[in-house]
Amino acid sequence: MPRSDRVALITGVTGQDGQFMSQLLHSQNYRVLGTTRDVASAAPKLRPGIREHVELVAFDASGPDAFVDCIAKHRPTEIYNFAARSSGARMFEDPVAIAMINGVAVARWLEAIRQVDPSIRFCQASSSELFGDTTESPQSESTPFRPRSPYGAAKLYAHNMLGLYRKHHGLFACSALLYNHESEHRGFEFVTRKVTAAAAAIALGGDVELVLGDLRARRDWGYAGDYVRAMWLMLQSHAADDYVLSTGITHSIKQLCEIAFARAGLKYENHVRENLSDSRPLESVLLTGDSSKARERLNWAPQTSFKTMIEAMVDADIARLRANSN
């Protein structure tokens, strides 16, 4: 594998963002390393075309010197931290594990950078969940944080530690306040992929009833590839800072269903059942981001529309199901 003066280490490399970032960095002539607990099981999770360009390195975060040893051995010039326990209803069942993975692990990366090589640039994939029960819309970098879940609280700890290391130790550490971002590689537990997968299955003759919560719920959805590009630009900037990454436009679950099922040649009303007992109350303040800082300072803007993204997801799910049936 060719060597490069630019070496990027990606945690969570097999996830949606990790694979998009691997692809982008390879196109920019980086040497790309991806951490994983088990190299053998991680390799098949990488998509063809990416698998050949990522060096998987074994990493056990529970070891007392794991973070320092990893940096000292591989000497990355940039680190992108995408490893996290995801949000969802079950997060309340194990808040301590979420605190360790989503919060404390970030502090350990920052401390390892400080000890081994303070010139390493670090990007933390943070979340709009930090805003939680916000009282203003849209939300920007100056909006007060009010997390309402263990996931958001852990991410806030990581965000605050990043700011402290940047201020007191001069580290080049950036936090990306990410709003929902989707793609054909999104996990099936997320509502966008639930909808596109169901539309694809029904279009191919499957007997599927899709049960969703309140169809009026709105989200600020963007395309993962666009947001990964913004995170890369953050580490190429002349100064470290935090950025909201969002489209600034919200769509409802109903609109999501309309676009996805129409792409599959269907009417969503015939296949989607709304179950309001399974949905949380609608937010009193709309969760949507103001990404003007990223647009101005990074010269970044989302390139992929919501409709284009959802239609591509449906197409990919139809192709996946057809391939699996052969």
Q: Are 172 and 268 in the same domain?
A: no
Give the tokens for residue 17. 């963002």
Read off the pLDDT of residues 285-318 as tens digits, 9 standing for 90 and up. Answer: 999 999 999 999 999 999 999 999 999 999 999 9
Give me the catalytic one of 22, 30, 128, 129.
129
Give me the catalytic one of 151, 223, 227, 243.
151
As a whole number of angstroms, the distance between CA 176 and CA 234 comes to: 8
Please tell me the predicted confidence (pLDDT) of residue 21. 98
As a whole number of angstroms, the distance between CA 276 and CA 282 comes to: 11
Q: Which residues contact 98 (CB under 8 A, 6 or more apart)?
A: 85, 91, 150, 151, 154
Q: Are 192 and 314 in the same domain?
A: yes
Q: Is the dihedral of CA 113, 117, 118, 121 positive or negative?
A: negative
Give me the catalytic one of 22, 80, 126, 127.
127
Read off the pLDDT of residues 244-255 as tens digits, 9 standing for 90 and up. Answer: 999 999 999 999
Read off the pLDDT of residues 30-48 as tens digits, 9 standing for 90 and up. Answer: 999 999 999 999 999 999 9
Please tell me the predicted confidence (pLDDT) of residue 1. 41
The secondary structure of 232-299 as a DSSP string is HHHHHSSS--EEEE--S--EEHHHHHHHHHHHTT--GGGTEEE-GGGSPPPPSS---B--HHHHHHS-
Read off the pLDDT of residues 223-275 as tens digits, 9 standing for 90 and up. Answer: 999 999 999 999 999 999 999 999 999 999 999 999 999 999 999 999 999 99
As a whole number of angstroms, the distance between CA 13 and CA 33 comes to: 8
Q: Are 121 and 147 in the same domain?
A: yes
Q: 268 an active-site residue?
A: no
pTM of the model: 0.95
Q: 93 an active-site residue?
A: no
Please tell me the predicted confidence (pLDDT) of residue 3. 54
**Neighbouring-strand partners of residue 231:** none
Relative orientation angle of helices 306-325 and 191-203, to the nearest 10 degrees: 50
In a domain, 226, yes or no: yes
The rounded percent of the chain whose pLDDT value lies above 70 is: 96
In a domain, 241, yes or no: yes
As a whole number of angstroms, the distance between CA 293 and CA 142 comes to: 11
Q: Are 112 and 214 in the same domain?
A: no
By residue range, what is the domain housing residue 13?
A: 7-181+222-245
Q: 129 an active-site residue?
A: yes
What CATH number is attached to the domain comprising 54?
3.40.50.720
Please tell me the predicted confidence (pLDDT) of residue 283. 76
The secondary structure of 45-110 as a DSSP string is GSPTTTGGGEEEEE--TTSTTHHHHHHHHH--SEEEE---PPPSGGGGG-HHHHHIIIIIHHHHHH
Total domain count, the chain: 2
Q: Are 195 and 236 in the same domain?
A: no
Q: Are 140 and 163 in the same domain?
A: yes
